[in-house]
Amino acid sequence: MAEISAKVMIVGGGPGGYVAAIRAGQLGLDVVLVEQGGREGGLGGTCLNVGCIPSKAIIHAADAVHQARLQAEAKSPFGLAVGAPALDFARTIEWKDGIVGRLTSGVAALLKRYKVKIVTGHATMVDGKTCKVETDTGPETVRAEHVVLATGSEAASLPSLPFGGRVVSSTGALSLPAVPGRLVVVGAGYIGLELGTAFAKLGAKVTVVEAAERILPAYDSELTRPVVRRLRALGVEVLTGARASGLSEAGDALRVTPQGGAMREIAADTILVATGRRARTAGLGLDRLDLTMSGAFVAIDERCATSMYNVWAVGDLTGEPMLAHRAMAQGAMVAEIIAGHRRTFDAVAIPAVCFTDPEIVTAGLSPDAARAAGHDVHVGTFPFAANGRALTLDAEDGFVRVTARADNHLVLGIAAVGAGVSELSAAFGLALEMGARLEDIAGTIHAHPTLGEAFHEASLRALGEALHV
């Protein structure tokens, strides 16, 4: 059995793992990255291979198809009319896969540049410093002074709807050979609604089933109302307060029981189960380690240190928020700590984006959460219906909302819903990290005409100084 020794061993090549490896290599550390690969992984992890990146490619293609259909129906607001569009879905998937390939190749090149040794195969921890890897050429043992666990997460199935056949996870949905005629989405969180909306625009008849009383239950209802309106306009049927209880006897329909109602069967060619993700811990030998757990997740402190000496954990393995950019920030920080830097993970806010139609972005506290934390707050909201750029984009449904302390005007939270608002997330996060007050945002000149002006105007409104509403 071959043996490899290194200063740092990273288990998992997703956003947290590969960024930790790159940063450690930049700092001159001897690094081994162990990545299993396979359908759910490879360098870049779930996010790059079967999650964030490919889903956004499909969403973009779906938007283009939908707009072309509207233009063919002479529904363009500015008078454009074209012929009926035809979509070669196989080419769409090929294009999506090409994007993924370019990015994974880029990650591999960066790892090579910084002299990170990559071992591909299934990893099993032997102890807190040793890992056995089953590679294509035989078993290898990796030993290191520091171990960084970055194994990520995986789609959670339902006992009544195990993955297989017409029941797919988001991974399967992103690799369908054709647009399904009838798609049922179980779960109205961000994954289910992002993909459900995209397939509706591609021509599928989509039904969404959600056990909670409303869609996107992690977001406040003010932010989700424009999404509800858009789903209705796209012809998506949404069943809230309803539970999926399994397939019909023939296996071609989903059994759904509304709260207080009779069970019904919804015919489906494909059933996407998008009810959440769970930490990837099974089969990795983590039970052999003396790790303190926080429920199903590995417990960490503000330095991403676990309960074992020189064993670190980053990303989805450590719990919510399960976001790639959080994992990246943690991975870079851990590499710097191992190199001797003094660092802690003390992010004021981690922006979250829901790429529905329209998009939702949040950073920091909502008004209700701020009040629950004991703050008296000022809230300023500015509608895109009063924003010139939004009107020129024919995208006036939505707004920007700013929440600040009433006493000193410190900004506590920023949110927006609207077309393209994901690109405002950096400004929102920066404002919170810099400790901005309403006057700071109000005193910053925002370019005209842009969607970002709504951020400026919302802050002015919270001060009682609104100019354009």
Helix%, strand%, coil% for the chain, nearest 5: 35, 30, 40
Closest CA to 63 of 169, 245, 201: 201
Angle between helix axes 15-26 and 89-113 (nearest 10 degrees) is 30
Q: Output the CA torsion 250→251→257→263 (10° steps).
A: -10
Q: Which two tokens stand for residue 402?
A: 């700013």
323, amino acid identity: L
Q: Which two tokens stand for residue 262?
A: 């009779």
**Strand pairing partners for 141?**
3, 132
Catalytic annotation, pick one of 122, 325, 341, 448: 448
H helix or E strand, kind and range, residue 112: helix 89-113
Measured CA to CA, the distance from residue 169 to residue 165 in angstroms comes to 11
Q: Name residues whose C-beta falls within 8 Å of residue 265's C-beta, 6 or more positions apart in sequence.
A: 248, 253, 254, 255, 256
CB 347 within 8 A of CB 316: no
At residue 238, φ and ψ (nearest 5 deg) are -120, 125
Q: What is the DSSP string of 123-153?
A: EEEEETTEEEEEETTEEEEEEEEEEEE---E
60 is a catalytic site residue: no
Total residue count of the chain as it appears in this document: 469
Measured CA to CA, the distance from residue 259 to residue 266 in angstroms comes to 16
Measured CA to CA, the distance from residue 125 to residue 38 in angstroms comes to 19
Which residues are catalytic, by number? Answer: 448
